Amino acid sequence: MATTPQPAHRTSRRTSGISRRLLLTATASALFVTATACGSAVNTADGSSADGLITLSMHNPDSRTQDPATWQMVQEFNKQHPDMKIRLEGQPVDQHEQRMTIAAQSGTLPEIFWVYDSLAKTMVKSDDLLDLSPILAENGLKSKFAPSMLAGFRQDGVQYGLPYQALVTGFYYNKALLDEHGIAVPETFEDLLAAVKKLKAAGVAPIAQGANNSAFSVWAFLTMLDRFGYEAKYPDILSGKARYDNADFLRLYRHVEELAEAGAFPSNMNTQTYAQAVASYTDGKAAFLDAGVWEAAKIQKSAVGKDTGFWAGPTFSDGVGEQKLVMNVPSAPFVVSAKVKEDKKKYAAVKAFIQFYYSDAGQKILVDNAQPPVTTYQPQVDTAKNSVFAAVLAEASKSGWKSPKAQPDLVVSAATASAMYDSFYGVMGGSLSPEQAVKNVQKTIESAE
């Protein structure tokens, strides 16, 4: 929000007592407005900022510990580009989304930021985001990506986003715990159900899940949705030609109910957060953890690191279509504020950062921090040192298995995504029957899409 200089036509020396007070009030108001107005960089005559400082706003309050790959990327970039500087900031996901929404309203978006794709698509409609096609065209950057990594972040001919990280999701499992109870790593749903029953009987928490303020943590179940034909069905569901409460999806939710009834989920699932669920796994208290590649480094460092494997989730004999699916898709995108184009130095800094992030050196930083590359870069992974990450990569590239184009919640509105999360957690916790769960999602689709 730009500040407007106050007019200076009230400076007569013949000020009476009242007009002096008026002047004071006006000055105070001006100061107040100036103090509360959002800061904007001082631009020089040629349209470049004085400092070339850009802000990268992320969805983690402490990137150094929660997203070390991005943190290291920024440190390395700042070191290599002394004439440019990136300031890394962040807040928890919900607050971040809220902040970016408000910033879009007030025209104060940070130069680069992470955002859910549904919000990014809304911002594209309002011309808040920069078309990144010209940047991709430089130095052959576009050729570094598999087409599927970019396709999801294009709308009305605008390449508004680039993949932040790859989203490989599924179940981590504790091999030692499974071996201890004579359980083989499951392949089918029946295997998983049998494993849950055995673990529960032995007093071991089967699957670590946490819904409190983290209802989105149902990644493995979203992949299961794809094993019931979600990818083929969702365009029709969103356009009203088909329904979410169809017989196929209902079957999946009934399977989730079977798991719940077998005691698959912790009794305090609704009060524990996702972070607590991860902790219960890394403490060796749970046999499976519903999560993704971003936890590989943390699990590696924990007591269960050496015993951890990764599984794409169960196949279903009554599923629909391809069952050999592993979720390996671009996660929510990096986007750039359209205003960056107005400032040459900031634009140059953004361009340099994007080129650096997707260069082999940048992708190596991702890999070094247990994140799969998002370009065609072929990583060298020390499987002995990074066994958890290696297990994730191995599962993601398993022969004969393929990935859906996008994670189911990333192709619908935030309201529908939220209803999908609730539907799974509702059945897992016994608050919703499978029929109620699918109906709730359908109802949300009818009002929100």
SS (H, E, C) the chain: CCCCCCCCCCCCCCCCHHHHHHHHHHHHHHHHHHHHCCCCCCECCCCCECCCEEEEEECCCCHHHHCHHHHHHHHHHHHHCCCCEEEEEECCHHHHHHHHHHHHHHCCCCCEEECCHHHHHHHHHCCCECCCHHHHHHHHHHHHCCHHHHHCCEECCEECEEECCEEEEEEEEEHHHHHHCCCCCCCEHHHHHHHHHHHHHCCCEEEECCCCCCCCCCHHHHHHHHCECHHHHHHHHHHCCCCCCCHHHHHHHHHHHHHHHCCCCCCCCCCCCHHHHHHHHHCCCEEEEEEEHHHHHHHHHCCCHHHEEEECCCECCCCECCCCECEEEECCEEEEEHHHHHCHHHHHHHHHHHHHHCCHHHHHHHHHCCCCCCCCCCCCCCCCCCHHHHHHHHHHCCCCCECCCCCHHHHCCHHHHHHHHHHHHHHHCCCCCHHHHHHHHHHHHHHHC
Interface with another protein in residues 300-359 (CB under 8 A): none
- With CB under 8 A as the contact rule, the residue among 48, 66, 155, 418 that binds another protein is 418
- Cβ–Cβ < 8 Å for 111, 337: yes
166-174 and 205-208 beta bridge pairing: unpaired
Least CB distance to another protein at residue 272 (A): 8
Least CB distance to another protein at residue 175 (A): 25
Q: Does 432 bind another protein (CB under 8 A)?
A: yes
**The tokens of 421 are what?**
């999360």
Tell me whether residue 392 or residue 420 sits nearer to another protein (CB atom): 420
Least CB distance to another protein at residue 416 (A): 8
Tell me whether residue 86 or residue 215 sits nearer to another protein (CB atom): 215
Tell me whether residue 223 or residue 416 sits nearer to another protein (CB atom): 416
Interface with another protein in residues 204-223 (CB under 8 A): 211-215
- With CB under 8 A as the contact rule, the residue among 5, 17, 82, 203 that binds another protein is 17
**The tokens of 216 are what?**
């989105």
Contact code string over 247-286 relative to another protein, x by CB under 8 A:
-------------------xxxxxxx--------------
Tell me whether residue 211 or residue 252 sits nearer to another protein (CB atom): 211
Q: Does 161 bind another protein (CB under 8 A)?
A: no
Q: Does 245 bind another protein (CB under 8 A)?
A: no
Q: Does 34 bind another protein (CB under 8 A)?
A: no
- With CB under 8 A as the contact rule, the residue among 4, 15, 25, 80 that binds another protein is 25
Contact code string over 77-116 relative to another protein, x by CB under 8 A:
-----------------x--xx--xx-xx-----------
Task: Please choose, out of 4-12, 289-297, 347-355, 440-448, the segment that lies near another protein by the rule CB under 8 A.
Answer: 440-448
Tell me whether residue 140 or residue 203 sits nearer to another protein (CB atom): 203
Tell me whether residue 129 or residue 262 sits nearer to another protein (CB atom): 129
What is d(CA 286, CA 158) in angstroms, rounded to the nearest whole number? 44
Q: Does 21 bind another protein (CB under 8 A)?
A: yes
- With CB under 8 A as the contact rule, the residue among 10, 15, 28, 176 that binds another protein is 28
Least CB distance to another protein at residue 431 (A): 4
Tell me whether residue 238 or residue 361 sits nearer to another protein (CB atom): 238
Least CB distance to another protein at residue 363 (A): 31
Tell me whether residue 175 or residue 439 sits nearer to another protein (CB atom): 439
List, in order, residues 6 or more apart from 139 with CB less than 8 Å away. Answer: 355
Tell me whether residue 5 or residue 17 sits nearer to another protein (CB atom): 17
Q: Which residues bind another protein (CB under 8 A)?
A: 17-18, 21-22, 25, 28-29, 94, 97-98, 101-102, 104-105, 118-119, 122-123, 125-126, 128, 211-215, 266-272, 413-415, 418, 422, 425-426, 429-432, 440, 447-448
